[in-house]
Amino acid sequence: MPFNWLWGKMWGNKLRKGQVGLETMTVIAFLLLLTIPLGLLLFSGTGQGLEDVSIMQANQAVVKITNTANDVYIQGQDSKASIFVLIPPKVNRILINGNEITFRMETSSGTVDIVGISVGNLTEEGSGQPITAIVDPNIYLINVSYQQGKVRLERG
């Protein structure tokens, strides 16, 4: 009995504090083991979501430009319209060929072309800045006009 009494007086409280500390560290380690994979899963999915948003924004811009070009073409000679268009990040080239306008984007899965087809032929000829010179993501004013059988697109 005296040995147990002496042992409890000398080391008892310190052993209990050590046990509490060990249990706390075990709980924290277990929580980290659960949260680290969840965090990695969450952050890996966010990048793909941002790319999807950029693709949708580029699609909306192409549709807006194409619809406006169609409206101007149908209204006939000397008709004009101006629109604001958001050019999203990752659009690295805008191409105009005949009645097609194409936004070319680089994504993690490769090159994506978003194409819009207009009723009339599209051109950039004229005194304004061509929209194919746009390389920075931003909101741009696009002037659309119909002259001499073609729909002219230029940056405002």
Residue pLDDT, tens place only, 63-104: 999 999 999 999 988 899 999 998 888 888 888 888 899 999
Q: Is the pTM of this model over 0.75?
A: no
pLDDT at residue 142 greater than cutoff 80: yes
The answer to whether residue 4 sits within a structural domain is: no
Residue 110 within a domain: yes
pLDDT of residue 62: 93
Q: Spell 127-138 as b/e; 16+ CB within 10 A means b.
A: eeebbeebeeee
Between residues 18 and 142, the one the model is more confident about: 142
Q: Domain for residue 31, yes or no?
A: no
Is residue 123 in some structural domain?
Answer: yes
Amino acid at 87: I
- Residue 45's pLDDT is 59
Mean pLDDT, residues 119-143? 77
Residue 41 lies inside a defined structural domain of this protein:
no
Task: Please check whether residue 150 is in contact with residue 121, taking contact to mean a CB–CB distance below 8 angstroms.
Answer: yes
Domain count for the chain, please give it.
1
Q: Which domain holds residue 90?
A: 55-155
Q: Is residue 131 part of a domain?
A: yes
Task: Let me know if residue 117 belongs to a domain.
Answer: yes
Q: How many CB atoms lie within 10 A of CB 106?
A: 13
Beta bridge partners of 93: 104
Residue 130 lies in a domain: yes
pLDDT, position 7: 52
